Structures are given as structure tokens and as C-alpha cells.
Structure 1
Amino acid sequence: MNEQRILDELVALLTGGGVVIRAEPLGGAGGGLCSVRGQHVFFLDTQAGSGESAALCAEAVAKVLDIESIYIRPEVRRFIEEHSGSAM
């Protein structure tokens, strides 16, 4: 599974978990997760590579979702484990 497909899966997980996704040009830094007025918002940098954005999404998924209680494709789960420091 390529990085763009992993990124798409991670964004879908975040969206399904109630996180608002904002795609913005942020200079290639990759974006990240924040809280705005009590709502989780993930800023997805449209100028960053899919690999960097996917790694930041993986960290956000591990922070926001109980990944043990939902189905995640094995390739995506491995990616989350590798990029979030989570040992599952």
C-alpha cells in the first residue's frame, strides 16, 4: 500500500472519529492535530509530501482514537505503530 493510500485511510479514520480535517497550504511542514473550541481539528498541509502528512496523521489517530476497538487494515495499523511510538 503506497503512502497516499495510507494517508487516505488515516484521514478517513480521523473523520470517522469526529476530527475535522482542514486542508491548507502550510509551507510543507505537514500540519498536525490541535483543538479549537473543544473540537479536534487536523490541519493537512497541501504543500507537504504524502509520507510526511501520513506520519502526522498516524500520530493523531493514535492520540484521538481507541485503535484497539476499531478495525484498521493491517498495513495501516503497522504504519500507525511505526510512526506513533505505540506498541499494540
Structure 2
Amino acid sequence: MDTSELIHRLQLLQRRLCEMAGDLGNLTDPEIVAVSQEADRLIIQLQRLRKEEAEGRKGPESTVSLLTASQTAEEARQQSGTLFMKNS
């Protein structure tokens, strides 16, 4: 699965989670937890793909941190084009 497909699936899951949270009202509901875990797996897969792409461009000896503690979300997104989903 390529990056754009992963991002699309994550966006669908985000919408689904928001709808479920509104309907069920309990973020620890087993259905919400299952969808959230699926989103987590996709996020990890996307991060791995992006890391592999970055290493392929820069060589195997360099590693890229997708998000460091000292970076703001905006800085990280600008640096690597990482997807951030905001839940309002």
C-alpha cells in the first residue's frame, strides 16, 4: 500500500472515530478502541514507509526522526510532510 492510500484510509478512520465517539459517547467502548488500534497500525505503517523513503533518498547511513519531542507539530509537518489529524 502506498503513502496516499494509507493517508486516505487514516482520514476515513478519523471520520469514523469522530462519528462513533459522538454516537457512543464513551471513548473506551470496545468498538472505538478497535478502530483506534487499526488507525495506530496504519500510522506506524505510514511512518515506516516515510522513513524508508527518506533513507532511500539520503542513504542507509542516515536516519530521519519523524517527530522529535523538541519539534512542534507544524515544524515536523513542514519538514517531512507527515500527516497530523486533529480531532475537534
TM-score (norm 1): 0.29
Report the structure, 1 or 2, having the larger strand content: 1
Report the structure, 1 or 2, having the larger helix content: 2
Greater C-alpha radius of gyration:
2
